[in-house]
Amino acid sequence: MILKAELEKLGLNYSQLELGEVEIKGSITEEQLKQLDKGLRKYELELMDDKRSILIEKIKSLIIELVHYTDEQLKINLSDYLSEKLNHDYTYLANLFSEVQGITIEKFFIIHRIERVKELLVYDELSLTEISYKLHFSSVSHLSNQFKRITGLTPSYFKQLKHKRRGIVGLDNV
Which pLDDT belongs to residue 166?
58
Residue 10 shares a structural domain with residue 57: no
Is 50 exceeded by the pLDDT of residue 171?
A: no
Q: What's the pLDDT tens digit per position in 50-64? A: 678 889 989 999 999
Q: Please indicate, yes or no, if residue 134 is contained in any of the structural domains.
A: yes
Residue 138 shares a structural domain with residue 57: yes
Please state, rounded to an integer, the average pLDDT across all residues of the chain.
83
Is 90 exceeded by the pLDDT of residue 90?
A: yes
Residue 143 shares a structural domain with residue 76: yes
Total-model pTM? 0.69
How many other C-beta atoms are found inside a 10 Å radius of the C-beta of residue 60? 15
Q: What's the pLDDT tens digit per position in 15-59? A: 766 666 667 777 778 888 788 778 778 877 766 666 788 899 899
**By residue range, what is the domain housing residue 28?**
2-41
32 within 8 A of 10, measured Cβ to Cβ: yes
Residue 65 shares a structural domain with residue 128: yes
Nearest residue to 53 (alpha-carbon basis) of 100, 113, 90 = 100
Which pLDDT belongs to residue 84?
93
Q: What's the pLDDT tens digit per position in 122-142? A: 988 999 999 999 998 999 999
Which pLDDT belongs to residue 167?
54
Q: Please indicate, yes or no, if residue 105 is contained in any of the structural domains.
A: yes
Which pLDDT belongs to residue 165?
65
Q: Please indicate, yes or no, if residue 46 is contained in any of the structural domains.
A: no
Is 50 exceeded by the pLDDT of residue 170?
A: no
Furthest-apart CA pair in the chain: how many Å? 65
Could you give the number of structural domains in the chain?
2
Work out the percent of the chain whose per-residue pLDDT is above 70. Answer: 85
Question: How is the chain classified by DSSP, letter by letter?
Answer: -HHHHHHHHTT--EEEEETTEEEESS---HHHHHHHHHHHHTTT------HHHHHHHHHHHHHHHHHHS--SPPSS-HHHHHHHHHTS-HHHHHHHHHHHHSS-HHHHHHHHHHHHHHHHHHHT-S-HHHHHHHTT-S-HHHHHHHHHHHHSS-HHHHHHHHHHHHHHHSSTT-
